[in-house]
Amino acid sequence: MPFNNGPMIWFDGKLVRWEDATVHVTAHVLHYGSSVFEGIRTYETVNGSAIFRLEPHMRRLMRSAKLARIDMQWTQDELMQAAVDVVEHNGQPSCYIRPIVFRGSEQFGVDGRACPTQVAIMSIEWGRYLGADAIEQGVDVGVSSWRRMAPGANMAMGKIGGQYVNSQFIAMEAHDQGFNDAIALDMSGYVSEGSGENVFVIIDNVVYTPPVSSSILAGVTRDSAMKILGALGYEVREQTVARDMLYIADEIFFTGTAAEITPVRSVDRMTVGSGSRGPITKAVQDQFFGITSGRLPDQFGWLTPVTIRQTAVGD
Ligand code: PMP
């Protein structure tokens, strides 16, 4: 098993053992990417474990299902409770929670709405997504030759499984070129986002981040960074970002549940700013990691405390 998984998965309303949470090869989702999903972190804080921003993640899951026209038999509150149950049962003080909603087996037609909706929530242990040093040292990225999805062809606001084929092209090309990740442009040539991260660009103490109309997923961590920056008194401009701005930026950072707040130290092998983590990036990180470790007060109400069982059920 390549990951350190929690022993139980919430699957269609019941906690089942990891190895029993299976689907049939005829499932619509396997053929046509008809799923919506989330990625949520549980942090081990100094006051015990807590899920980070559970409510906006589950709200986005519900909205993604609506965009994908997948009927949901569960309410947002029920899924929030199910996520808490999974974390509490699985005995992992810090973990990555993956809820997924998908079309199961019933018909081979593309439409798929006759297929039953199935829902699973699992947890795995997952450390630093972009490498152990990335948080301090930053990552090297390139501008992808792949564009983000065109408006009118897909719906970037939804975290829809099939749309991640685009992200895979971006990530695979970046890795083949020796980069940690890439920044993709939208169909108009403006900066969109990374393969699984939103991007912030800082020039002359002003913080820029692309708007939803630049084919981004509206990240929960992006929202957290914007709130932190606002509280610190920085101006954040949600506006189209020209590719040129990447090359003259004083600082760039990525945000994402997996990537957290990660500085970008070069773009297309050109150094960003001084080449080391900039002061605004550090200030956002200090707040973000302060809150998620429990060392700073949870001033925005972002943490849902959970009680981790000592002996995981299913062991
Ligand atoms: N963009 C894409 C394409 C993503 O997959 C993710 C990860 N969910 C993000 C941005 C960052 O979103 P969040 O901060 O909600 O994890």
**CATH number of domain containing 74:** 3.30.470.10
* Sequence letter at residue 50: A
HEC string for 101-164: EEECCCCCCCCCCCCCEEEEEEEEECCCCCCCCHHHHCEEEEEEEEECCCECCECCCCCEHHHH
pLDDT of residue 211: 98
Q: Are residues 139 and 113 in the same domain?
A: no
Q: Are residues 92 and 143 in the same domain?
A: no
Q: How far apart are CA 267 and CA 279, in angstroms?
A: 19
pLDDT, average across residues 27-37: 98
Q: Are residues 141 and 107 in the same domain?
A: no
Residue in 14, 66, 159, 227 annotated catalytic = 159
Residue that finishes a domain, picked among 98, 125, 152: 125
Q: Are residues 62 and 154 in the same domain?
A: no
Interacting residues of 233 by C-beta distance below 8 A, sequence separation 6+: none
Going by C-alpha positions, the residue among 6, 1, 3, 2 that lies closest to residue 17 is 6
pLDDT at 315 over 70: no
What's the pLDDT tens digit per position in 107-160?
899 999 999 999 999 999 987 777 779 999 999 999 999 999 999 999 999 999
pLDDT, average across residues 198-224: 98
Q: How far apart are CA 200 and CA 110, in angstroms?
A: 37
Q: How far apart are CA 227 and CA 261, in angstroms?
A: 14
pLDDT at 35 over 70: yes
Q: How far apart are CA 185 and CA 79, in angstroms?
A: 34
State the residue range of the domain holding 273: 134-277
| Residue position matching structure tokens 């913080």 | 207
Q: How far apart are CA 71 and CA 103, in angstroms?
A: 9
Q: Which atom of ligand 1 is nearest to the CA of 258?
A: 16
Q: How far apart are CA 69 and CA 158, in angstroms?
A: 11
Nearest CA to ligand 1 atom 3: 196
Nearest CA to ligand 1 atom 7: 196
How far apart are the CA of 198 and the centre of ligand 1, in A?
A: 6
Residues with CB under 6 A from ligand 1: 39, 167, 193, 196-198, 217, 219-222, 255-257
pLDDT of residue 313: 55
Torsion angle of alpha carbons 289, 293, 297, 301, nearest 10°?
90
Q: DSSP string of 14-60?
A: EEEEGGG----TT-HHHHH--EEE--EEEEEETTEEEEESHHHHHHH
Asked whether residue 292 is domain-assigned, the answer is no
pLDDT of residue 314: 53
How far apart are the CA of 194 and the centre of ligand 1, in A?
A: 9
Asked whether residue 310 is domain-assigned, the answer is no
Q: Any catalytic annotation for residue 159?
A: yes
Asked whether residue 287 is domain-assigned, the answer is no
- Quote the tokens at residue 307: 């009680």
Q: Are residues 202 and 240 in the same domain?
A: yes
- Quote the tokens at residue 130: 């972009």
pLDDT, average across residues 6-14: 97
Asked whether the whole model's pTM tops 0.75, one would answer yes
Residue that finishes a domain, picked among 108, 125, 142: 125
pLDDT of residue 232: 98
